[in-house]
């Protein structure tokens, strides 16, 4: 049987890695897929740029639409990233009856509903395992491996840049800005790191995971998003004194009030396996009602880890080429007509425990004022840590861990505490999740 022809849009790090994996493991891939898979046409913006992969036997073009319009191409792999022209190219490929594989989390999170509807209409597949957590097969695990479960919640370290920064800040007691420069030097962070450190990248990925886990439409605009710029080495140190680690997490939870979708720094118990995932690695913890908690861990980025996911999707598509479209695994795990319109819980209605850090004047009665404010709002305290003042300092750090309370009540408490003339600057608030 003739090999399946693949058109590759983008021949950079992941594209080059995909070519290398397909060639190096060609025999194994053919045995798994039932047919050979070859990249016969590829597009790149700069055809003269050195590549990390061989390009012999591949027709190269600087026009990605030439790849999409090539009648010999059966599967289009989109690795350009961003929204435009990626969206136009993917929709054009679908319109021409071609299957699509993509690693573009932004595109799927923001326009996946439109793309999947078009694919369903045309009877083609859109595979996107590489869009979340690089080489970790988390999409397949939730969509297929856990399909007998009601997913109760999932949490994930789904951005390697922020995980590297927090790991180095804790290990080296270095400020955010210094570690960020180191991450940029090592190539883990972009020159403009906002996409990562503000949590937007993680929010795209959480949008996708939540849709698959709970059978809801993709709703990126409803994800509460908070970054890590405000985290200090002191926060990481104080958290450890209480037995916690601070991780930047994506959290999705199915509650009686609706679905929680949030990305923010979070204290988690240091004994949890996910609390010990360091560096640029990713991990996703999924709680199913039948299986209990399951942890998926590995490389969340990089040429060949991401290419592993791309090639896995290619194998799945090739296996399904001759199958009835109605019998394929649905894009978002649930049948398209069965997606739920469950509401997304507003952040002020979310319940969480909290870590609070404030600088207070070192004199009697200050702590009593703080605890009174918390008590009046029904916020109970789990632990308090008050440090000694530094020589010549009038203010001392006070750290409080609370029990679970609605975000609305905590917002009011913080406003009232900051209004005290004995509190210097703003109150630092980090949410706390026991993950039990």
Identify the band that residue 229 occupies on the pLDDT scale cut at 50, 70 and 90. Answer: very high
pLDDT value of position 389: 75
| Distance (Å, whole) CA 415 – CA 426 | 9
Q: Is the pLDDT of residue 335 over 90?
A: no
Closest CA to 359 of 398, 311, 400: 398
The average confidence (pLDDT) of the chain is 95
Going from N- to C-terminal start, the domains of the chain cover 4-135+303-338, 138-299, 348-432
* Residues 13-31 pLDDT 10s: 999 999 999 999 999 999 9
Report how far apart, in Å, the C-alpha atoms of 389 and of each of 15, 108, 359, 360 are.
55, 50, 10, 10
Domains 4-135+303-338 and 138-299 share a fold: no
**What contacts 24+ positions apart, CB below 8 Å, involve 166-170?**
166/228, 166/231, 166/236, 166/246, 166/247, 166/248, 166/265, 167/278, 167/279, 169/231, 169/233, 169/236, 170/233, 170/236, 170/237, 170/240, 170/245, 170/246
Per-residue model confidence (pLDDT) at position 41? 97
pLDDT digits (tens, 9 = 90+) for 106-161: 999 999 999 999 999 999 999 999 999 999 999 999 999 999 999 999 999 999 99
Whether the predicted pLDDT of 4 surpasses 80: yes
* pLDDT tens track for 179-196: 999 999 999 999 999 999
The percentage of the chain sitting over the pLDDT mark of 70, rounded to a whole number, equals 100
pLDDT tens column, 29-72: 999 999 999 999 999 999 999 999 999 999 999 999 999 999 99
- Phi first, then psi: what are they for 276, rounded to 5°? -105, 15
Q: Are 228 and 248 in contact (CB under 8 A)?
A: yes
The CATH fold assigned to 4-135+303-338 is: Rossmann fold (3.40.50)
Q: Tell me if residue 140 is catalytic.
A: no
Global pTM value: 0.95
Catalytic: which of 98, 105, 140, 205?
205
Quick one: pLDDT at residue 339?
87
Question: What is the tens place of the pLDDT at every residue in 78-96?
Answer: 999 999 999 999 999 999 9
Q: Which CATH number fits domain 348-432: 3.30.70.260, 3.40.109.10, 3.40.50.300, 2.60.40.10?
A: 3.30.70.260
Say if residue 297's pLDDT is above 80: yes
Residue 331 has pLDDT above 90, yes or no: no
One CATH from 2.40.128.20, 1.20.1440.230, 3.20.20.140, 3.30.360.10 for 138-299: 3.30.360.10
Find the mean pLDDT for residues 234-259. Answer: 97
Nearest CA-CA partner of 58 in 76, 41, 75, 77: 41
CA pair distance 138, 354, nearest whole angstrom: 29
99-102: strand order across its sheet: 59-61, 37-43, 4-9, 75-78, 99-102, 126-127
pLDDT of residue 336: 85
**Does residue 333 carry a pLDDT above 80?**
no
pLDDT at 309: 96
Each residue of 353-367: pLDDT tens digit? 999 999 999 888 999
User: Predicted confidence band at 323 (pLDDT cuts at 50, 70, 90)?
Assistant: confident
Distances (CA, A) of 104 to 134, 155, 332: 11, 21, 15
């Amino acid at each position: 049987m003739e090999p399946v022809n693949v058109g590759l849009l983008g021949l950079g790090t992941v594209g080059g890695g995909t070519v290398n994996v397909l060639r190096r493991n060609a025999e194994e891939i053919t045995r798994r897929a039932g047919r050979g898979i070859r990249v016969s046409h590829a597009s790149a913006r700069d055809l003269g740029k050195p590549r990390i992969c061989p390009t012999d036997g591949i027709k190269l073009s600087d026009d990605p639409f030439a790849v999409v319009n090539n009648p010999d191409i059966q599967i289009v792999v989109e690795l350009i990233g961003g929204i435009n022209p990626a969206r136009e190219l993917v929709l054009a490929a679908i319109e021409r009856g071609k299957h699509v594989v993509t690693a573009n989390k932004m595109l799927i999170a923001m326009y996946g509903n439109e793309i999947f509807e078009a694919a369903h209409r045309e009877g083609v597949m859109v595979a996107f395992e590489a869009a979340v957590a690089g080489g970790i097969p988390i999409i397949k695990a939730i969509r297929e491996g856990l399909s007998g479960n009601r997913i109760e919640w999932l949490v994930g370290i789904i951005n390697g840049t922020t995980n590297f920064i927090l790991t180095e800040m804790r290990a080296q007691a270095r400020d955010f800005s210094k570690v960020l420069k180191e991450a940029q030097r090592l190539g883990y962070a972009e020159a403009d790191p906002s996409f990562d450190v503000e949590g937007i990248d993680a929010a795209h990925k959480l949008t996708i995971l939540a849709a698959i886990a709970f059978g809801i439409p993709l709703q990126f605009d409803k994800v509460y998003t908070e970054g890590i710029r405000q985290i200090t080495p002191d926060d990481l140190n104080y958290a450890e004194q209480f037995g916690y680690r601070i991780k930047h997490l994506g959290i999705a939870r199915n509650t009686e009030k609706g679905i929680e979708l949030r990305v923010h720094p979070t204290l988690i118990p240091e004994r949890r396996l996910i609390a010990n995932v360091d560096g640029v690695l990713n991990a996703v913890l999924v709680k199913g009602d039948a299986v209990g908690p399951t942890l998926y861990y590995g490389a969340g980025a990089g040429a060949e880890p991401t290419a592993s996911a791309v090639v896995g999707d290619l194998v799945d598509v090739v296996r399904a080429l001759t199958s009835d479209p109605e019998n394929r695994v649905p894009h978002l795990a649930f049948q398209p007509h069965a997606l739920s319109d469950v509401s997304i819980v507003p952040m002020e209605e979310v319940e969480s425990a909290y870590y609070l850090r404030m600088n207070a004047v070192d004199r009697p009665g200050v702590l009593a004022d703080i605890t009174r404010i918390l008590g009046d709002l029904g916020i109970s305290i789990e632990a308090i840590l008050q440090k000694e003042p530094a020589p010549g300092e009038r203010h001392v750090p006070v750290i409080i861990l609370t029990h679970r309370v609605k975000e609305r009540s905590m917002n009011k408490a913080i406003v009232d505490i900051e209004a005290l003339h004995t509190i210097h600057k703003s109150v630092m608030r980090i949410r706390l999740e026991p993950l039990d």
